Structure 1
């Protein structure tokens, strides 16, 4: 009788909610729904603006451009789920890319070994961020703001600020820029690698104890610690895994750009954070899904790609992304106020 009465009371409370409150509840349970709707509206709007937008060639180019931001956004999602933020994502990727390219340039080192060293260096960079956050208890914003400058400077000093073209690199470093076509629609192996990263990390977050601990630490680190969750070790692992993913993103970037340059993707940090926030992951931690992050990355690149197709200059495209960030954070704040 008690259980039946509780169910009836819950149903009565649900029926008393206004349509807006019901929408708020749905978005709280499924934070990826709102970015999915925004992505659909964006596609329709750009198709109306220019029929070239939905051609097979344009969609292939869009996916190739999205791959880099989407890869970085996976690591950024892990960090933001723990209520942190990583401003060094682009710097770690560039450092890893320049090291692996410089080591393998003109046959100086076997390509596979150079690739592994570059990815290992990115992993160590993520580990350093994690150690500073967990062992010295520095705020993630300050830590990664500092390492952003450190890793950027190291990359520039190591490479001498010069680019390395594809013809000077072994095939394994350029491999992810190769691909296969389905008619006029072309996919690269870099896109396939990024999809695999999403599949693996989505499984880890949703089906393993480690994934549940990540959400618990982000929701309330102190309560998680008191419940027996090793919060410090989870945070350290999150930053380390994020670094590993940034290193793989550096490999994808070589294939996409056809070269290794220290000035590649200057907006990587902003774009990765934007993708995560637009995708429904809360900046306050503990809530979000990788499917939302993937949709968010598509939205960021769709806006930039679509506006460039219709001739909008770079300044207005940056403005559009800024508006997206503000709106996404406002929606997140509204969703968090849901009443149970």
Structure 2
């Protein structure tokens, strides 16, 4: 039996007879066109938009959501969804900053502890989904609230300040052509490169697609689907921990109120990037493009002096249009 990812124009063989698309770059075409059109429009509205400093700012602003979107993409590719990602990011930030400042732990170990906590939550999500067979929506809705409460209780609802330089190092900048870029941006781009390689070139990555496309067929060809799902949720949790460090580096504090809308922003980026909410179809680079689309719209509307409430409105319209397009494409493929 063969599990095939929908809409693939070309495939290559995989372990166990599974196949994975080699020609899904077309899935990114729509988001890229949207990104280019948005840039052209805002360039006509503000003379400050097409500047190196402004594009650097957009990348810095979207670095946290961009990394969260990698984990969210993995979960959605398997047919699930993770509502807890933003709150886990906030909890990881509080844990690592409090461990470093209050407990006096070496900064590197404190950072690792923060990532370990978010990974542990990912493990809990994965176990509840795979062992008890609870819907991912319900599981992550519950852990989202648990993480929020834990963040507020452990921080005392107070911002953590006076952080060691190691924790804010990724917020430092370097110059390229006279434009300052943050090291956190480089980390985000490197992680997208790694995720692209794993999903495209390894058996583990192809199994993720297969589980999302047809879990029963995947199981019948000998792939441990439950183990794949569990690993996906743990890896996603670890990525939220990395996003915690990027958030702390950018703001210079541990903020207990961070991440409250990042779950929706990450889901929006993934959907705008062409990943199907029904699982099994999408490319990781699309999520990066989707995050940039959201960032460009918000930045452009801000430069135009448009109220932030309309920025939220535009984001909502974009995600509805993206999901509608995905649904229509699925119907057309039947």
TM-score in same-fold range (> 0.5) = yes
CA apart distance, 1:28: 7.4
- Structure 1 residues 156, 230: closer, same or farther in 2, change over 3 A? same
Moved runs in structure 1, 4+ residues, more than 4 A? none
Corresponding residue number in structure 1 for 2:13: none
Residue segments in structure 1 that go unaligned for 5+ positions in a row: 1-26
Corresponding residue number in structure 2 for 1:130: 126
Check whether the contact 2:25–2:283 (CA below 8 A) recurs between aligned residues: no
Given candidates 291, 299, 302, the residue that maps to 1:297 is 291
CA apart distance, 1:90: 0.5
Check whether the contact 2:24–2:282 (CA below 8 A) recurs between aligned residues: no
Matched, 1:154 2:150: yes
What pairs with 1:262-301 in structure 2 (closer than 5 Å)?
262-301=256-295
Corresponding residue number in structure 2 for 1:177: 171
CA apart distance, 1:254: 0.5
Corresponding residue number in structure 1 for 2:226: 232
Check whether the contact 2:91–2:147 (CA below 8 A) recurs between aligned residues: yes
Check whether the contact 1:95–1:152 (CA below 8 A) recurs between aligned residues: yes
> Helix, strand or coil for the counterpart of 1:52?
coil
Q: Which moved more, 1:62-71 or 1:101-110?
A: 101-110
Q: What TM-score comes out, normalization by structure 2 length? A: 0.91
CA apart distance, 1:265: 3.4
Distance (whole Å) between structure 2 residues aligned to residue 339 and residue 236 of structure 1 = 30
Check whether the contact 1:180–1:187 (CA below 8 A) recurs between aligned residues: yes
Distance (whole Å) between structure 1 residues aligned to residue 196 and residue 119 of structure 2 = 20
CA apart distance, 1:106: 6.2
> Helix, strand or coil for the counterpart of 2:48?
helix
What pairs with 1:10-159 in structure 2 (closer than 5 Å)?
30-105=26-101, 108-159=104-155
Deviations 1:119-165 (A, max 9, x none): 11111111110001001100000000000000110011001010012
Distance (whole Å) between structure 1 residues aligned to residue 108 and residue 299 of structure 2 = 33
> Helix, strand or coil for the counterpart of 1:337?
helix
Distance (whole Å) between structure 2 residues aligned to residue 292 and residue 134 of structure 1 = 27
> Helix, strand or coil for the counterpart of 1:186?
strand
Q: What TM-score comes out, normalization by structure 1 length? A: 0.89
Corresponding residue number in structure 2 for 1:245: 239
> Helix, strand or coil for the counterpart of 1:181?
strand
Corresponding residue number in structure 1 for 2:248: 254
Corresponding residue number in structure 2 for 1:19: none
CA apart distance, 1:269: 0.7
- Structure 1 residues 136, 316: closer, same or farther in 2, change over 3 A? same
Matched, 1:219 2:201: no
> Helix, strand or coil for the counterpart of 2:180?
strand
- Structure 1 residues 50, 287: closer, same or farther in 2, change over 3 A? same
CA apart distance, 1:336: 2.0
CA apart distance, 1:56: 1.4
- Structure 1 residues 223, 73: closer, same or farther in 2, change over 3 A? same
> Helix, strand or coil for the counterpart of 1:164?
coil
